[in-house]
Amino acid sequence: MKLIDIFAAVKDRKKGQRRMDLFRRENLETWILYFPPGDVQRMHNHPSDRAYYVLTGRGVMKGLNETHELSPGKVLSIPAHEYYEGSNPHDEPMILLGNSHRPTAEDLAKAGGKRSEIDEATGKRIVYQHGGGRDEGKIVDA
């Protein structure tokens, strides 16, 4: 077993760090997302289902065809391959607890990589093989 104080982890995060991994098991990942006021993620997706539980603050989770207001105690399920972006238009931080299973080989093959984003300038899909960050994404929709 491993016990972690989530609020202590948030205080210890690096400046500008949004995601902090808590647990990485063979088939399960758990993390927290910290959204300071005004923060907006890029529209993106993942090859595995995601669930987010709102610990503190308020925000918005927007999909391609729907938008949900987030507040403490709410939980949101996002199916694999569905595009979404999280944002915090409010004046207090929002902290989410995230959970996902590791993608299978079939999940990755369907997605073409570990993460996809929508390029704001062209509207085309960018695929990242290693989940984004320093990974060089490739535009795949010609």
Residue 80: what are its φ and ψ, rounded to 5°?
Answer: -55, 145
pLDDT at position 110: 74
pLDDT at position 131: 52
Residue 105: which CATH number?
2.60.120.10
What is the block-wise mean pLDDT of the chain (142 residues), using blocks of 10 residues?
90 89 89 95 89 98 96 96 94 96 78 72 70 52 52
pLDDT at position 139: 54
Residue 75: what are its φ and ψ, rounded to 5°?
Answer: -125, 140
Q: Which domain holds residue 29?
A: 17-139
Bridge partner residues of 52 (DSSP)? 76, 98
**Is residue 12 included in any domain, yes or no?**
no
Structure tokens at 31: 């993390």
**Is residue 119 included in any domain, yes or no?**
yes
**Is residue 25 included in any domain, yes or no?**
yes
**How far is it, in rounded angstroms, from Cα 53 to Cα 117?**
22
pLDDT at position 136: 55
Q: What is the value of pTM for the model shown?
A: 0.80
Residue 74 gets the label, from left (phi > 0), alpha (psi -120 to 50) or beta, of: beta
**Is residue 116 included in any domain, yes or no?**
yes
**Is residue 66 included in any domain, yes or no?**
yes
pLDDT at position 118: 74
pLDDT digits (tens, 9 = 90+) for 51-71: 999 999 999 999 999 999 999
**Is residue 125 included in any domain, yes or no?**
yes
pLDDT at position 130: 56
pLDDT digits (tens, 9 = 90+) for 6-19: 999 899 888 888 99
**Is residue 133 included in any domain, yes or no?**
yes
Number of domains in the chain: 1
Structure tokens at 131: 């989940």
Residue 120 gets the label, from left (phi > 0), alpha (psi -120 to 50) or beta, of: alpha
**Is residue 6 included in any domain, yes or no?**
no
